[in-house]
Amino acid sequence: MKRAGKFTTGEFAGLSGVSKDTLFHYDRIGLLKPETVEENGYRYYSLAQVDVCDVIRVLKELGMPLAEIREYLEERTVPSLLELFEKEEKVLLERICHLERSRSWLLHKKETLEQTLKLDFEKITVEEQKGKYYISRTVNTADEAVWVKKAGELLADCEANGIRSSYGFGYRIKMRMAEKAAVAQQEGKTEPLRYDMVYLLLDERPETLSYRERKAGDYVVLYHVGDWRRIGLAYGRLLTYAKERGLILGEHCFEDAVIDGLTEKDPENYVTRILCEVIRKVQI
């Protein structure tokens, strides 16, 4: 006959929210044994063990190995439990922050892609842009291997400082280099693109990394669709647009990746947004 206040393995599994197989496993490894085992082999758990099972479940969800949970339970006291909870609370808060950053990244990517699909890539506009923070590495070369190395350094810095940019890598090029690329494309040639920096945009000012700021103001905005090696065609369009409207442009152009290898397999479908600051407008 079952003793008062005791529960069979099946009943206890229902109370604690774990399976019977899990309880058998916990028993085998010495993590949570039945409070009593009758001579006939019947196993009984007590109501108090439900709380123990809850602690096991929570610590397991936090990533603590079962062996460590067993060690804690064997020596548990109120002070040790409080110390453990304080430690695991910090771990949980860090995980929540990480998940919030991941969710923010996902939502921004989703919104950007949805907006991109609605764009007219042939259109060139002058748009007022908000200021943006960015971290960067100087490249000042046409060597792609250097770009990859510097981009890797940026990612490593972000990872070490708990920063996750929701933007793709961007590249800054001097206007005179963009002009050379445009002329070369018009002549059917390919001018090596000599960027002066690779960067990652950030929506918030980084607290632990040195940064630059792409200042707010009016920018000419246009898009290049396809392999970036033909981006000189887009710069040709940019220069023609500016000349026809009497726009004096800034010293640099920024290339923001909108659709890149992360979201599109075929380079011919890549989309790069080009921004160049409008310094002033002259009469023509």
Q: Per-residue pLDDT tens for 266-282?
A: 989 999 999 999 998 88
Instruction: Report the pLDDT value the prediction gives residue 99, as an integer from 0 to 100.
Output: 87
pLDDT in tens, 157-192: 988 888 888 888 999 999 999 999 999 888 888 778
Structure confidence by residue, pLDDT tens digits, 73-86: 887 788 887 888 88
Average pLDDT of every residue of the chain: 88
E strand intervals along the chain: 6-7, 36-37, 43-46, 125-129, 132-141, 170-174, 195-202, 212-214, 217-225, 247-259, 271-281
User: Which pLDDT value is given to residue 64?
Assistant: 86
- Measuring CA to CA, how many Å separate 81 from each of 35, 69, 94, 145? 21, 11, 20, 52
Q: Given this model, what pLDDT does residue 221 score?
A: 97
What is the pLDDT averaged over residues 37-46?
87
User: Average pLDDT in the 120-144 region?
Assistant: 93
Kindly report, residue by residue over 85-111, the tens digit of the pLDDT.
Answer: 888 888 888 888 888 888 888 888 888
Q: What is the mean pLDDT of residues 7-33?
A: 91
Structure confidence at residue 3 (pLDDT): 60
Of the candidates 180, 281, 275, the one whose C-alpha atom is nearest the C-alpha of residue 222 is 275
Break the chain into its structural domains and give their ranges.
6-76, 81-114, 119-281
Rounded distance, CA 35 to CA 20, Å?
15
pLDDT tens across 206-222, in order?
988 999 999 999 999 99
Say how far apart CA 135 and CA 208 lie, in whole Å: 11
- The three-class DSSP label of residue 195 is strand
pLDDT mean over 11-18: 89
Whether 139 contacts 228, CB under 8 Å: no
The CATH architecture of the domain made up of 6-76 is Orthogonal Bundle (1.10)
Do 127 and 218 touch, CB atoms closer than 8 A?
Answer: yes
We find that the CATH architecture of domain 119-281 is Alpha-Beta Barrel (3.20)
- The yes-or-no verdict on residue 262 having pLDDT over 80 is no
Mean pLDDT of 223-252: 93
Could you tell me if 258 and 269 are in contact, meaning their C-beta atoms sit under 8 angstroms apart?
no
pLDDT tier, 284 (very low <50, low <70, confident <90, very high otherwise): low
CA–CA distances in Å: residue 216 to residues 80, 128, 198: 54, 7, 20
